Each structure stands twice: as C-alpha cells, then as structure tokens.
Amino acid sequence: MNTSKQMIDKMGYDRSITMFSPDGRLLQVEYAKKTVKQGSTAIGIACKDGVVFVADKRVTSKLMVPEAIEKMFRIDDHIVATAAGIISDARVLVDRAQLRAQQHYVTYDSKIDIVSIVKEMCDMKQICTQSAGLRPFGVSLLVGGVEEDGTIKLFVTEPYGLYFQFLAAVIGEGETDIDSMLQKRYKVGITIDEGLRLGLSCLKEFLKTDFNAERVDAGYIDVATKRFVKLDLEEIRKLTK
C-alpha cells in the first residue's frame, strides 16, 4: 500500500511542470534531461584557429537518405549549433535565433555576438519550466562560433535554460564515454584539423562497429573567414582512416 501511495504521489508531481516535488525537484525538467541523454551524440571543440562540430546523424534505415538528416544548424555565418534530443524542438529554437541574428544585423549593421544568441535560446527554454500548459524543451544544443574580434566561443545549453561555456563538450547518448575521452585527449591550442580528427576518433570509438562516415556530420568555423564550412563525405572518410 505504501509503495502504491508513493507512486501515485509521484505521478501527481510529474504531471505539472510548475509543481515542485516535496524534495525540491521539477520532475518534468529531469525527464527532459533524460531525453537528451537518449539523443544522438554531438561534439563541439574549441581550437586555436576556430571551432569544430561533429555529430552523429543516427541513420536508422538503409532506405533513409543520410544527407537529408539535419544535425548542423547555421544561425549566422559565424555561429553554428548542433543538438541532441528532440531535433524538432531544436529547429524551433534555431528559427528564433536566426531571426534574432538577422534583426540585429539589420538594426546595427554588425554581426550578433554568440552569448546573445545563447541567451535568446535559454530564455525561451526557461519560460517553459515555469508556465502551466507547456512542457520543457527536450533538447540540448551546442552553440559555437567566432566573434568579430576573433574570439572563439563554445556553449552548451541545457533543457531548463542554463548554459555553460566549454573548451570541448559532448551531449547525447555518448556524453559519459566521450567526455572522459575528451578530458584525456583535448589540449589547449589544437588546430581545426586536429580537432576534427579528435572529435571523429572519439565518435568512432563510441559507436564501434556501428560507425560509418555516412552517419556523421562534421564542420568548422575558422578565425580567418568566420564562416561555417561543412565537410563532405570524402573529407570525413579521409579524416577517419
């Protein structure tokens, strides 16, 4: 009876995003974080000459067209995001961020800074943790780029609206395993080429026999051009040999 009562009590608390449980938790927010951990892996690495992104597209059928699966989102020429979790949620946040970047450029005739984009996303996420009738965004995003002054930045945004700046970060199902790899192998001052090789090698080790170049998205933004470049299939294959 006691066990049944506890289950019923817990169900009551996790039905509403606005209700704290007796131990001070928002259970819907915790479920959103679990959704992210089940999502396909995405890696971001800040290098001395730019920022690198590597993502698993998780092709689930031989009949799917891998090129049609989108895991890299260009917010502006100098800012890119990749996501883990519910990708449709990510698209909503990216659409808002793209509009914000365009409005800033039209108004001020300059590129928007990366932190403003991150805050725009996280403000929206946070609103969904305190408003009845909504659910939290079930997605984390890696947002990175190169500022106009050449500063390289990489952020992780959590489903509940918190964000952190990283030198190298991973989100999704490979978070635990790949994070320990990055902790050991990442070195400050690595180049874009080294960063791409590091990200791809970590993903390859995590996926093991499931790894193939077709299920990988990879790209970078360099300091010189401040523009996103997406790698094609042949370039990814060369880097993973």
pLDDT digits (tens, 9 = 90+) for 155-197: 999 999 999 999 999 999 999 999 999 999 999 999 999 999 9
Triad 211, 51, 233: Cα angle to 5°: 35
Question: Nearest Cα to 206, choosing from 33, 32, 42, 34?
Answer: 42
* pLDDT-based confidence at residue 60 (cuts at 50, 70, 90): confident
pTM of the model: 0.91
Q: Is the pLDDT of residue 9 over 60?
A: no
Of residues 36 and 15, the one with the higher pLDDT is: 36
Question: Is residue 115 predicted with pLDDT exceeding 70?
Answer: yes
Q: Where do the domains of the chain lie, and which CATH numbers do they carry?
A: 48-57+66-236 (3.60.20.10)
Beta strands in the chain (DSSP E): 42-47, 50-56, 72-76, 79-85, 139-146, 152-157, 163-165, 168-171, 216-222, 228-230
pLDDT of residue 8: 47
